[in-house]
Amino acid sequence: MPSPDVDIVFVLDASGSMQPCFDQLRANLEEVIQPLNGFSSRIRFGFVAQSVGRTDSCHEYSHTSGSGFDPLDVLYGDQVSKAEKARLFTEDPARFTGWLANIRPHGDEDMLVALDVAADFPFGPLKNTKRVIALFSDEPFEGGASGSSRNVRIPDLIKKLALRRIQLYVAIPESEASLELASLDQADVTFVNTLDGLKDVDFSGLLRQMGKSISASSFQAEEESVFQAALFGQDKWINTRAVGPVTYVDKQSTS
């Protein structure tokens, strides 16, 4: 069997405290690439960076991906071509770190939604692609904008990740939600004890181990299974493009 491709989507908490995470990821990206040299014929990088604001009546979600694309526009928009969706990825590590350098963390987060958005990415075909999501946050899943209300969809999220054969790597404070996600067969969850943008996390070692784990995992060519997109209804959220910076509003997420 020829060397597989590897698609890695980083899911990044872009709330106000997280600048150290972005800096460390940019500085240490090579650590995840090195173990894959000679194993993978192609590595593609993508990301979802999420920040959430709140008004009296709703949450306003900002998701950023490659070249400034809002992934909700690309993934859930009408008549978006495969070529347009493919632009969520790049094979150029320098371009990827350049994308990250343009993110300015602010606001809050809602990371189960961000994880679901990443799980809907246009990964390469299963017959020749290892699919990977790596999520980083300094808040537990329940510490974000929606509290624990999103936890009810975790079983569906686990099912989707399993159906799509996505390897999941997570660095986040321990909580009920993270423990439940850790039950996924292809999940590697690292519990962190920091609320300062993960600045004390050893990103070099974490990313190196992630690369080794990807290259060591078994690979079986399969066909894509049917899965449910947009588990949190984000494909139907209201786009506020006409009234300022692009955000999406989920009026059901406030308590």
Return the pLDDT at 251: 64
pLDDT band at 243 (very low <50, low <70, confident <90, very high): very low
Q: Report CA-CA distances (Å) from 85 to 68, 176, 199.
A: 13, 33, 32
How far, in Å, CA of 168 to CA of 13, rounded?
A: 16
How far, in Å, CA of 136 to CA of 198, rounded?
A: 8
Tell me: pLDDT of 162 over 90. Answer: yes
What the block records as the tokens of 183 is 């039950």
pTM, two decimals, is 0.95
What the block records as the tokens of 210 is 């992630």
The hierarchical CATH code for the domain 5-250 is 3.40.50.410
Give the three-class secondary structure for 231. Answer: coil
Dihedral sign (CA 27, 52, 111, 70): negative
Count of C-beta atoms within a 10 Å radius of residue 156:
14
β-bridge partners, 172:
191
More confident residue, 219 or 69: 69
> What single-letter DSSP state applies at residue 242?
G
Count of C-beta atoms within a 10 Å radius of residue 20:
18
- Residue ranges covered by each domain of the chain: 5-250
Instruction: Quick: pLDDT tens for 47-100.
Output: 999 999 987 778 899 999 988 889 999 999 999 999 999 999 999 999 999 999
Give the three-class secondary structure for 105. Answer: coil
What values do phi and psi take at 192, rounded to 5? -110, 155
How far, in Å, CA of 38 to CA of 54, rounded?
A: 46
pLDDT band at 240 (very low <50, low <70, confident <90, very high): confident
Give the three-class secondary structure for 70. Answer: coil
What the block records as the tokens of 42 is 């192609």
- Min mean pLDDT across 32-36, 37-41, 79-83, 210-214 is at 37-41
Tell me: pLDDT of 34 over 60. Answer: yes
Q: Which residue has the tokens 């500085």?
A: 27
pLDDT band at 222 (very low <50, low <70, confident <90, very high): confident
Strand ranges (DSSP E) for the chain? 5-13, 42-54, 59-64, 129-136, 166-172, 187-191, 238-239, 248-250
In percent, how much of the chain has pLDDT > 90?
A: 78
Tell me: pLDDT of 165 over 50. Answer: yes
pLDDT band at 252 (very low <50, low <70, confident <90, very high): low
One-letter identity of residue 201: V
Tell me: pLDDT of 39 over 90. Answer: no
> What does the pLDDT average to over 152-159?
98
Instruction: Quick: pLDDT tens for 104-127.
Output: 999 999 999 999 999 999 999 999
pLDDT band at 255 (very low <50, low <70, confident <90, very high): very low
pLDDT band at 1 (very low <50, low <70, confident <90, very high): low
Contact 7, 131 (CB under 8 A): yes
Tell me: pLDDT of 221 over 80. Answer: no
> What single-letter DSSP state applies at residue 59?
E
What values do phi and psi take at 48, rounded to 5? -125, 115
